[in-house]
Amino acid sequence: MVTESELEELLSDCPTLYHMAEDGSWPSIRDKGLLSTTALLDLYGVQGEARQQIEAQRRPAGVLLEHTTLPHAVIRDQLPMDDRGLRRCLPAHIEPTDWYRLLNGKVFFWFTKPRLITLLRAGTYRTRSHDVLEVSARKLVEKHYPHIWFCPMNSGCTKPWPHARDENTFRRIPEYSYAEIRRRRKRGERVVELAVDYSVPDIADFVTRVVRMQAGQEIATLPP
C-alpha cells in the first residue's frame, strides 16, 4: 500500500505530470476536458464496427473523429504496441483486445519529463509537433484520488521488449506496492504512469502550462 508519507514523497519528487496531446487540441481539451478514447467515442457517438476497430484493436494510425456540432478530434495511434508483442507479455487469459480496451478507458500522464521526451522523440512522433500539458500532480491527486491508478511501467509499449503485464499492473493508490518498488528504483521511477478512469473533465483547473513541442524541444507556450 502507499502510506501518506510515501505519497507525499512521490508528489514532492514528481510535482508535475505530463500529457502529450495532438497538435492544436488544447482549446478543445480546455473546454471539454481531457477524455479517454472511450469517452471520446461516447461523445462523438461512434458505435458498431467502427467503434470496435478503434477501441478494441490496435490503431496503426491516428483516427479523425468528425461531428456536425463538435470540433474535429484525433485519437492517437498505438504504434509502440502491437498484438504480437502483447501475446508475448500477457497471461493466457487476457487477449490483446482486452488490453486495448483497458487502456482506451483511461487518461494517461507521465510522472517525469524524461519519459515525455523519450515519447516525443520516438518514431514518427519526432517529426510532428504536439500540445504538451503540464499538470499539478498534487492538485489532480487530491481531486480525483478515488479514480486514479498507478502503473510501474509504460503500459502502452511492447517495443523493443514486451515486459510482462496483467490485470494487476494498474493499482489504485492505496494498493500500489510503493515500498517494494522504492527499494529497487530511484526517485522519479517508482511510479511511471498515472491513469484516471474515463476522463478528467476539469483538467484546466490543474494545468500549470501548455507547451507546443517537437522532438523534445519547446516551440511555443500556448495561452491558458
pLDDT digits (tens, 9 = 90+) for 97-151: 999 999 999 999 999 999 999 999 998 899 999 999 999 999 999 999 999 999 9
Per-residue pLDDT at 124: 86
Residue percentage of the chain with pLDDT more than 90:
97
Task: For residue 1, name the pLDDT band (cuts at 50, 70, 90).
Answer: confident
Among candidate residues 14, 25, 205, the one with its CA nearest the CA of residue 109: 14
**pTM score:** 0.96
Among candidate residues 126, 125, 195, 123, the one with its CA nearest the CA of residue 154: 195
Q: Where are the domains of the chain?
A: 4-221
The per-residue DSSP string of 82-144 comes to -HHHHHHHS-TT--HHHHHHHHHTEEEEESSHHHHHHHHTSGGGGGSEEEEEEEEHHHHHHHH
Task: For residue 191, name the pLDDT band (cuts at 50, 70, 90).
Answer: very high
Q: For residue 74, how many C-alpha atoms fall within 13 Å in the half-sphere facing its CB? A: 14
Which grid cell sits at 165? Answer: 503485464
Tell me how far apart the alpha carbons of residues 27 and 44 are, in angstroms, rounded to a whole number: 17
Tell me how far apart the alpha carbons of residues 1 and 169 are, in angstroms, rounded to a whole number: 14
**Mean pLDDT across 66-70:** 94
The helix (H) or strand (E) run that includes residue 218 is strand 217-221
- 110, 36, 92, 146 alpha-carbon torsion, rounded to 10°: 70
**Mean pLDDT across 88-94:** 98
Handedness of CA 109, 111, 115, 121 (dihedral sign): positive
Q: Is the peptide bond before 160 cis (omega within 30 degrees of 0)?
A: yes
pLDDT digits (tens, 9 = 90+) for 192-224: 999 999 999 999 999 999 999 999 999 999 998
DSSP summary character for residue 19:
E
The mean pLDDT of the chain is: 96
Per-residue pLDDT at 123: 86
